[in-house]
Chain A
Amino acid sequence: MTTTATLSKKDFQTDQEVRWCPGCGDYAILSAVQSVFPELGVAREKFVVVSGIGCSSRFPYYMNTYGFHTIHGRAPAIATGLKLARPELEVWIATGDGDALSIGGNHLIHTLRRNVGVKILMFNNRIYGLTKGQYSPTSELGKRTKSSPYGSVDYPFNALSVAIGAGATFVARSVDVFQQHLKQTLKAAAAHRGTAFVEIYQNCNIFNDKAFAHLTEKEVRDDALVELENGKPLVFGKARDRGVRLNGTELEVISFADGFGPQDCLVWDETRPNPAIAFMAAQMDSPRFPVPIGVLRKVDLPTFESGMSAQIQRETEKRGAGSLDKLLVAGETWTVHEDGSIS
């Protein structure tokens, strides 16, 4: 019915009125996803967008695919069941920092460790938006919000570190306003067969405006961010005159003015089986380090659903398709005959 060749962005837009606040970063993410989906060569009816609760989780209503707006934190669990039942579907999860890392933290890490073939887009705005402005598990220490009038005393989660620590096979970060980078990251996620975890820095212009401005504004971004590109050295700066090198067991920023050059920088390899360096990169934070965007980790491992299907297939081949008659009479049975005798 739907032929993938003719799909366009418009095919993924719904007639529902989008109800995010004007100026919200979610619009940009929606636009990027609607642009990328038609390019994936997948029929529209094969897409399912699953979400939890929060501003980001309204996402499925605005995507003209199958969609399931579930309950707070549970999207990964629901998506896991769906993917196990229907491995051929393209299952994407839209979630936020509170949804994924707080109430749903357990489901997130277990989905990642199992390597379920779903894509997780975690919109990180470092605030609870839908409940009107409480600090979130990614809010910075000392943050003043309605629920932390004297400053938050919670140490924040680093989402990428959590994902890498949980054994994620694909971990990336992008930014709502970097449309090209975001689309390219989404495509890389789509091409990964295991769980793809993408943290998207997203501005909440109502409750946490400019949370990422120090990283993403035009004037500062080249100095504040480093783009990870597979096979390329970690060079950054407006003049591309600085880099990150591995010195012993530590990453450090080096300045080419001090006699260093690109050849001294760490060459990014997203496919390293050992997650240690990806974890160190995830920990890079301003102002000491440039903050990394791009793909931190991409390793190929069999998926959870393929392992489950393989067992079913193997057992069916070995034992033959189950017979209900045989199943019921399994074990020790006896027969009572019409004359009352027993055998």
Chain B
Amino acid sequence: MSLPTVEPDSRTAREVAREKVDDVVIRFAGDSGDGMQVTGGQFTNTSALVGNDLATFPDFPAEIRAPAGTLPGVSAFQVRIADYDIHTPGDAPDVLVAMNPAALKVNLRDLKTNGILIVNTDEFEERNFKKAGYAADPLEDGSLDSYRVFRVPLATLTRRALEGSGLDAKSQERCKNFFALGMAYWLFSRPLEATVRWLEKKFAARGDLAAANVKVLKAGWNYCDITEAFQVRYEVEPARLPPGTYRNVTGNTALALGLVAASRKSGLSLFQGAYPITPASDLLHELAQFKHFGVTTFQAEDEIAAVCAAIGASFGGALAVTSTSGPGLALKSEAMNLAVMVELPLVVVNIQRGGPSTGLPTKTEQADLLQSLFGRNGESPLPVLAASSPADCFLRAIEACRIALRHMTPVVLLSDGYLANGSEPWRLPRVEDLPDFPVEFRTSPEGFAPYLRDAQTLARPWAVPGTPGLEHRIGGLEKQDGSGNVSYDALNHERMVRLRAEKVERVQREIPDLEVHGDPLGGPLLVLGWGSTEGSITGAVNLARRAGAPVSRAHLHHLNPFPRNLSEVLARFERVLVPELNSGQLALLLQGRFLKPVLGFQKVQGKPFFRHDIHQRILEVLELVR
């Protein structure tokens, strides 16, 4: 194969057709060391800055560097860009960039027929076919005939672009993802500037690396520009998003910002206790940067210490948060019960992942709903909220803090791996529009007892150590109503069980009614979801409705207590479809609570729902297809 000579920055004025598309899904796939997450992230940021609506789905293995070239080592980043309001990162890619045979093997099945496939031919050799489980070269055996295949020796071209750069071979090799990115930028008519800026900042201390990566990025762009193989460039117009200032945000970043905002709005210092766990660690990384907001982040010796330290900080009057993922939540359960018993505010963030046990650490799932509600000894009610999109994580974090503080209770806030790492454009709220919720500590000893309750909320007073005259003792033993003294009295215990439940139930007074999108007055089918499935459900319901299907949707952000009108909403619809990334946990709750039969719809593959999954099920339930 003769290779074209690429002079960086040479731009030939070749005639290239331009085609407008409204919506495109691109997936970058390679080895976990190939920099696919960075590549996808850069494509995303650039697309955000040109004004597309977008959604991303990073998908990577639990191993940091699985053996190179193997199937378990494949890391991928999918991004969907559109000129209209989208809700999901897309079901199937239109474009797949495969950096090696393993990446091709794992991802090809998702690529749309006639989709664009860019392969790095440098890795297509005997040794790698074996690792990927190919008997023969897939580029030669006709198996790719239904795709538009572009064979590009990425590593060779990268090396060529860097000839004379003085970089060693290994460092040169590491730049090749930017060649692929440059190609993608050309193909989708994106500007290079944002990535160039990013590289210059990232490698501020290594000017040679910044220059090399920029050179390779441009080389990738130029390669497409001058190679006759590429005949069409695609354009995706900016989306018509509501006016405002936007940034691209992942769920974990939005959560961190929401917690800092809650600290400001409540006037309390933020204390986070955490132990590293995938996919929740980013929350610790983010908050650790915010020392100048008075944030204390405590990386504890284990999950139990993390929640216990947060409870200690809460006793001391801080806005206390602990963050974890499923297995960590299991470890925290005894301490969460202590918070239930001593009625101190605490926010427990659970970024759900595939379970049980260690399960699928980097994959998403919604299977901790029942654990959050019931996974503790004794009668142990606490409010449970769930965020529904990366941007929603921000407001949900503030709401969780507000409920915890106002009602003196631990609150579980559920997110998941899909929201945590996925991103979308976020219209920034105005800080002054976010309501304040100042906290008043008890200071007067007049008539003080630690378990007297607020008539409205049933919250007990928050009397923090250091306050003269309010010395008191709390603990995990049952409390006497009012005085808070240890009590083993039978009737008192039952009264306290009911009081704790009633206190949580009263949170319902402050949460908004469930909103029905579609036909609010009812109809043949309601799709009711919770948490991170909102995007897929919205996309599927909108698609079905555009074709005239009588389907509506509603989405729960409050799992305990439920919105007060939920029972009545359920009654308005003949059938209720409940899609969940678990084995039917919300469905079980709804049927148990409201005696309303619902149709469960489950996917437990460590992956989010495709819009297609839910759309198809809607049509089946409505008997529009068989």
Contact A85 B473, CB 8 Å, known A78-B311, A333-B246: no
Q: Which of B45, B242, B271, B295 contacts A81 (CB 8 A)?
A: B271
Chain B residues 449 to 501 lying within 8 A of chain A, measured CB to CB, are 464-477, 485-486
CA A126 to CA B390, docked complex, whole Å: 53
Q: Is B232's beta carbon under 8 Å from chain A? A: no
Which of B246, B302, B465, B466 has the most CB atoms of chain A within a 10 A radius of its CB?
B465
B-contact 0/1 string along A324-343, CB 8 Å cutoff? 11011111111111101010
Q: Which of B50, B194, B238, B292 contacts A318 (CB 8 A)?
A: B292
Q: Is A256's beta carbon under 8 Å from chain B? A: no
Q: Are A320 and B292 in contact (CB under 8 A)?
A: yes
Q: Are B301 and A110 in contact (CB under 8 A)?
A: yes
Which of B304, B315, B485 has the most CB atoms of chain A within a 10 A radius of its CB?
B315
Q: Are A334 and B320 in contact (CB under 8 A)?
A: no
How far is the CB of B404 from the nearest CB of chain A, in Å?
A: 15
Q: Which of A83, A110, A332, A334 contacts B305 (CB 8 A)?
A: A110
How far is the CB of B21 from the nearest CB of chain A, in Å?
A: 18
Q: Which of B51, B194, B338, B470 contacts A342 (CB 8 A)?
A: B51
Q: Is A48's beta carbon under 8 Å from chain B? A: yes
Chain A residues 301 to 340 lying within 8 A of chain B, measured CB to CB, are 308, 311-312, 314-316, 318-322, 324-325, 327-338, 340
Contact A332 B304, CB 8 Å, known A86-B465, A316-B294: no
For A311, the closest partner residue in chain B by CB is B291
CA A305 to CA B302, docked complex, whole Å: 19
Q: Is A173's beta carbon under 8 Å from chain B? A: no
Q: Are B305 and A324 in contact (CB under 8 A)?
A: no
Q: Which of B242, B312, B429, B469 contacts A336 (CB 8 A)?
A: B242
Q: Are B338 and A48 in contact (CB under 8 A)?
A: no
Q: Are B476 and A71 in contact (CB under 8 A)?
A: yes
CA A68 to CA B472, docked complex, whole Å: 9
A-contact 0/1 string along B611-622, CB 8 Å cutoff? 000000000000
Q: Which of A1, A65, A332 contacts B194 (CB 8 A)?
A: A332
Q: Which of A16, A71, A327 contacts B293 (CB 8 A)?
A: A327
For B247, the closest partner residue in chain A by CB is A333
How many residues of B sit at the interface, in one of the four size bands?
A: 35 or more
For A340, the closest partner residue in chain B by CB is B240
Contacts of B485 in A (CB 8 A): 16
Q: Are A81 and B313 in contact (CB under 8 A)?
A: yes
Which of B260, B300, B335, B475 has the most CB atoms of chain A within a 10 A radius of its CB?
B475
A-contact 0/1 string along B281-292, CB 8 Å cutoff? 000000000111
Q: Which of B247, B293, B301, B465 contacts A48 (CB 8 A)?
A: B465
Q: Are B292 and A80 in contact (CB under 8 A)?
A: no
Q: Which of B295, B305, B472 contacts A77 (CB 8 A)?
A: B305
Q: Are B247 and A45 in contact (CB under 8 A)?
A: no
For B318, the closest partner residue in chain A by CB is A85
How far is the CB of A11 from the nearest CB of chain B, in Å?
A: 10
CA A154 to CA B235, docked complex, whole Å: 72
Q: Which of B298, B338, B469 contacts A70 (CB 8 A)?
A: B338
Contacts of A334 in B (CB 8 A): 48-49, 51, 245-247
Q: Are A312 and B465 in contact (CB under 8 A)?
A: no
Contacts of B466 in A (CB 8 A): 45-46, 66, 86, 88-89
Contacts of B260 in A (CB 8 A): 322, 324, 327
Q: Are B305 and A106 in contact (CB under 8 A)?
A: yes
Q: Are A84 and B465 in contact (CB under 8 A)?
A: no
Q: Are A342 and B238 in contact (CB under 8 A)?
A: yes
Contact A77 B486, CB 8 Å, known A65-B471, A327-B293, A332-B247: no
Contacts of B469 in A (CB 8 A): 1-2, 45
CA A311 to CA B312, docked complex, whole Å: 21
Contacts of B45 in A (CB 8 A): 332
Contact A82 B312, CB 8 Å, known A1-B469, A333-B245: yes
Q: Is B533's beta carbon under 8 Å from chain A? A: no
Q: Are B291 and A315 in contact (CB under 8 A)?
A: yes
CA A130 to CA B220, docked complex, whole Å: 72
Q: Are A67 and B472 in contact (CB under 8 A)?
A: yes
Q: Which of A48, A50, A312, A336 contacts B51 (CB 8 A)?
A: A336
Q: Which of A61, A81, A314 contacts B316 (CB 8 A)?
A: A81
Q: Are A78 and B292 in contact (CB under 8 A)?
A: no
Q: Are A79 and B292 in contact (CB under 8 A)?
A: no
Contact A82 B316, CB 8 Å, known A45-B466, A329-B247, A335-B245: yes
Contact A77 B245, CB 8 Å, known A1-B468, A45-B468, A84-B296: no
Contacts of B311 in A (CB 8 A): 70, 78, 81
Contacts of B366 in A (CB 8 A): none
Q: Which of A16, A64, A84 contacts B471 (CB 8 A)?
A: A64
Q: Are A85 and B269 in contact (CB under 8 A)?
A: yes
Q: Are A324 and B335 in contact (CB under 8 A)?
A: no
Q: Are A336 and B243 in contact (CB under 8 A)?
A: yes
How far is the CB of A270 from the nearest CB of chain B, in Å?
A: 27
How far is the CB of B251 from the nearest CB of chain A, in Å?
A: 15
Q: Are B338 and A71 in contact (CB under 8 A)?
A: yes
Contacts of A79 in B (CB 8 A): 312
Q: Is B531's beta carbon under 8 Å from chain A? A: no
Q: Is A43's beta carbon under 8 Å from chain B? A: yes
Q: Which of A14, A71, A85, A333 contacts B317 (CB 8 A)?
A: A85
Contacts of A221 in B (CB 8 A): none
Contacts of A63 in B (CB 8 A): 473
Which of B194, B304, B312, B467 has the most CB atoms of chain A within a 10 A radius of its CB?
B312
How far is the CB of A61 from the nearest CB of chain B, in Å?
A: 5
Q: Are A89 and B315 in contact (CB under 8 A)?
A: no
For A82, the closest partner residue in chain B by CB is B312
Q: List 28 A-B contacts (CB under 8 A).
A: A16-B485, A46-B466, A48-B465, A60-B473, A63-B473, A68-B342, A69-B474, A70-B311, A71-B335, A74-B304, A77-B301, A77-B308, A78-B312, A81-B310, A81-B312, A82-B465, A83-B312, A85-B269, A85-B316, A86-B464, A315-B291, A316-B291, A329-B428, A332-B248, A334-B247, A335-B243, A336-B246, A342-B50
Query: 3 tightest CB-CB pairs across the interface, nearest first?
Result: A69-B475, A81-B312, A81-B309
Interface residues of B (CB under 8 A from A): 45, 48-51, 194, 238, 240-248, 257, 260-261, 264, 269, 271, 273, 290-296, 298, 300-302, 304-305, 308-318, 320, 334-335, 338, 342, 428-429, 431, 464-477, 485-486
Given A1-B469, A336-B51, 18 more pairs with CB closer than 8 A: A1-B468, A45-B469, A60-B475, A61-B473, A66-B471, A68-B315, A78-B311, A84-B309, A86-B316, A89-B466, A110-B300, A318-B292, A332-B48, A333-B247, A335-B246, A336-B243, A336-B244, A342-B50
